[in-house]
Each structure stands twice: as C-alpha cells, then as structure tokens.
C-alpha cells in the first residue's frame, strides 16, 4: 500500500476505493479507529466462520467496541479493547461459546498481531 500526503492527512487507493486517514476526524478515519475496526471486524469474521464450522450458523453478528482504553502518558497508545459480540441465531449454544471465543482469539490475525501490546477482552450475548 502506498500513502500519499494530503492537506489534512494521508490517502491511499484500495481496490474498494479511496481511504482517507487523518488525525482530525473531519477529514478521514483516525488511525486508532482503523486499528480498533480491524481488530473488531477480523474477530467478527473469524467468529462467523467458527460458528458455521460448529454447525451453529449466526443469522447476524454485531461487534461493539464497548471500551477503548488509551494511555495519555504514552503517546495515547491503545492498551485495552473490550469487544462485545451480539449474536443472533436459533442454534447458537451458550455452552459452546467459551470455546468459540477461544478459537476466535487464536485465529484472528489482527488480535494475534496486537497480542503482546493490547489487552483484548471479549464478551457476548446471544439473541434468539
């Protein structure tokens, strides 16, 4: 990927379209938003695949970053992300969800990329 400087940040062209990134959210996505989004969406996609493989297909999954803890003393670094999954599906078994979360964490490339630097907390609720 190639990032070009603009008046208010940087841009890159992707196969999906132009992505604007800026420290000012009036001009693009903020870098921390992209990082949190990557972790959340990767986790949701992996969870979806795992649920399918376990024969508990989800009709719908919502991933909410309920809490993002940043450290203002260390460049405002992200130290903790709490992801909450709301899973809709008539065949989702609560008794298997601890294993689903374990496999999601293990197989999400974005979570594994930040494993030693950002604490990822995952909770869930099942909606029938």
Q: Which residues of 46-74 are buried (b: 16+ CB within 10 A; e: fewer)?
A: bbbebbeeeebebeebebeeeeeeeeeee
d(CA 80, CA 61): 22
Report pLDDT for 101: 97
Report pLDDT for 128: 82
* Threshold 0.75, pTM exceeds: yes
Run of H or E residues at 68: strand 60-71
Report pLDDT for 60: 98
- Local confidence band at 50 (pLDDT 50, 70, 90 cut-offs): very high
Report pLDDT for 24: 95
């Amino acid at each position: 990927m190639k990032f070009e400087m603009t008046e208010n940040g940087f841009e890159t062209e992707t196969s999906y379209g132009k992505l604007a990134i800026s420290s000012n959210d009036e001009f693009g996505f903020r870098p921390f938003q992209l990082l949190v989004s990557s972790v959340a969406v990767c986790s949701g996609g992996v969870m979806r695949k795992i649920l399918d493989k376990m024969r508990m297909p989800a009709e719908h999954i919502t991933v909410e970053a309920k809490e993002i803890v940043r450290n203002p003393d260390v460049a405002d670094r992200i130290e903790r992300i709490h992801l909450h999954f709301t899973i809709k599906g008539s065949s989702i078994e609560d008794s298997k969800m601890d294993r689903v979360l374990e496999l999601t964490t293990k197989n999400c490339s974005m979570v594994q990329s930040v494993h030693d630097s950002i604490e990822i907390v995952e909770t869930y609720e099942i909606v029938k």
